[in-house]
């Protein structure tokens, strides 16, 4: 099973959602905050290095040292 996300204006979203339902698809509406969360998570996944950083080194960076 696959999925697509289409960001459009409200009128277009309604037309596309109706079409997807008629074609037997499952439609899930996202508000702007949920869409931004999805995009941030996608960006984080794309730059994930797998390296582990110690808490102490993070705290030093946050303190500006």
Where are the chain's structural domains?
Answer: 10-62
In angstroms, the CA 65 to CA 57 distance is: 9
Tell me the C-alpha distance between 59 and 65, whole Å.
Answer: 9
Q: What is the pTM of this model?
A: 0.57
Residues 3-42 have pLDDT tens digits of 888 889 999 999 999 999 999 999 998 889 999 999 999 9
């Amino acid at each position: 099973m696959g999925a697509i996300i289409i960001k459009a204006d409200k009128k277009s979203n309604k037309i596309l959602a109706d079409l997807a339902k008629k074609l037997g698809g499952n439609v899930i509406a996202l508000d702007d905050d949920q869409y931004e969360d999805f995009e941030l998570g996608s960006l984080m996944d794309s730059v994930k290095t797998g390296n582990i950083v110690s808490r102490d080194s993070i705290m030093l960076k946050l303190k500006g040292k």
